[in-house]
Structure 1
């Protein structure tokens, strides 16, 4: 509620040393503008703190006369203002100068307006002073702030216009891109004007298998993820890009814009592929020791039975045993060839995880003997379908089981299980090893972090990457001194079935 009232001649206004009385006193006293209340005869009724701060005068300095404040040649200004107010003007504004306590002439703009008593007679004059020096300083500060903002904006533009990271902003209200950084042209090999005209023009050279998902990442308001995709330009080498999208929401929570950040990850992808090949070759070499143990046993048996044939001259009694042992060697060699085959499936296909795990039994048992460990399997008798790359899933399982063996230097048992959780297949590797401290669990899979003394973490990092491509995950539970459980989760595909 706002109250209005008349200022009467009997009202008591404050100066700095005066007592504050009347309803208007606090407002007058603490307002930001320097203000003076003058009697009709020109004597001072009061002035506020801002006046003292601006000009330095106190009530002891001025008393009830304003003459010390007004230059000698300007003393007639009050009569001019008083006459105009008596003539009915409600505001008289003029530029002049006033003296501060040090005698310096201060250019000011004065706004004078009348104060009437209850009978409508001029009771006082109120004058507000705005120092032109303060105003100039304020304007200078505003210009400085504007220049800082402009320079900052230009700095942001310079960074965005000259960085290798491509930045694109899509507006869902306008249904088009409203900003594309220059790097977008080099990354997508498409002119920016083409994309501004047709939002889907950025797909011009994107691999056909990646287009639908790429459009979803950049143009779908519900998209909050990132993806890697291929750009294939005739006459140029294949390029891998990675785009991450960030939604911008309005006050109602609706996504109104989407900002996409795109970078070239071709070198990184090539490095990952090379690391995977070297890691796989290294794993084959390591498993070869276990295979040698596994092959030596049937070879020893075959050699012994051949010697018995030479001694007895009869092969019938030992033929079946020799064939059985040779078949066992053949199975081991087949498994080794399967693992070392550099060919990888380009597309994910329907696979039976029961068969995938069964294919690894001989290899994992052989590796267990090398580490003085045992491994127990709990694999479903029926099909366990999943859309996956079988070789890559085998790679992840072997890596996790190998880590479990190495976590039990004194020997122990590893449990490999698989089942359908109802939300998708789960493969679990559990050991009785030394365990992992709780604070280190979140670091598993990060580059160059390993829980092993001489480890590089490349195996786990690659396993995480494989599961990420499959839309799955790896979870770890561990207790120091009791062991670790690694749990692979693959997404549910309700349409998959294996007859």
Structure 2
């Protein structure tokens, strides 16, 4: 099993009602949840081995990996559909959404794939398309068909509701069609989803498929619901109209939000416990030495030094926590040339490395590599990595800083000749207050990860005990417009 799954949301992954799988960039299934096992009709160990369903899985996997190659930034995603032969003999139609999975130990080389059975929706779409040819003769055919559908159907022209079926009335909590006919869809869909409506209209204008969509809607009794569905174009009363078919997924979304919030609270509780533990120790020391000072008139200077040292440690912990909690919106991002920026950092850190006779060597094939970011935070990332490398080494040695770029990203490696880390230490790296240094707080790498992720990048670490450690930071290149 992989540690720190998807930025700590392992509970959501495990208990989500939607089928989920974690794939390596080579296509190996790393982890699946129970919902996916139920959907595919196999047990977890069977899916992970990929043996019993290899023939069915191979073309689906090829489609996923091909689509995933079009993603470049962490916010990117791709959607696709496929057919799948269930072990029961039933042919299923699956909708898949592929995103990057942020896993500290695997950088950005993994994909999170969500699976949804849309067989019923597609069967309804086929029926509607089949019936469309008959609509020129009689609109009663469509009305009869819609009345019998168990899912909500809304017919619109240019964004205005023309007709709804009984299931839609029930879903929106309307008493009659008159409450909905003539309303704009944007009056029902929440404001935060209006951009999605405009994007779908633009895709339709370009002749592109609309795909599946999720909206938050406002019902007639002022309640809210999450709905999921698709839209097709038909001829309705002599004009082109959009037929949207939706199902209510509110319960599923609420359950996933509850699980996610539970996991966040659990993480916050662990962090709070760590903070309390780390601050209690210096406070205990300060309290003890104050009592000694009251009872002893000698060696007060030594007590003052110890108290000052402990107060500085508290200040360090609080300062690093404030950096960690700093909201992303406060970052003033701008175009940055990262090559001279790294050169400045190397020049700065050479003063510290000289005390231990450690040489810093910067290797780059490009004089200029542009990214979008905040200079001071990027500096902090590589100051932290170089500082860790210097502290991990005894006297003498070398640290390499390599800069390489591809058409879409820049890769910066910091490789030291230190003592290295074990597999267990690597798995714990990034947890609050976990550190391999005697005087460390364990927050430095956590802050580094946070900054890199806020810049839509990834960080990966490789280490061998006695053979040094290599940190690899990947950041998206600034895409200049032609």
State the TM bucket, normalised to the shorter chain: 0.3 to 0.5
TM-score computed with the length of structure 1 as normaliser: 0.35
Larger Rg: 1
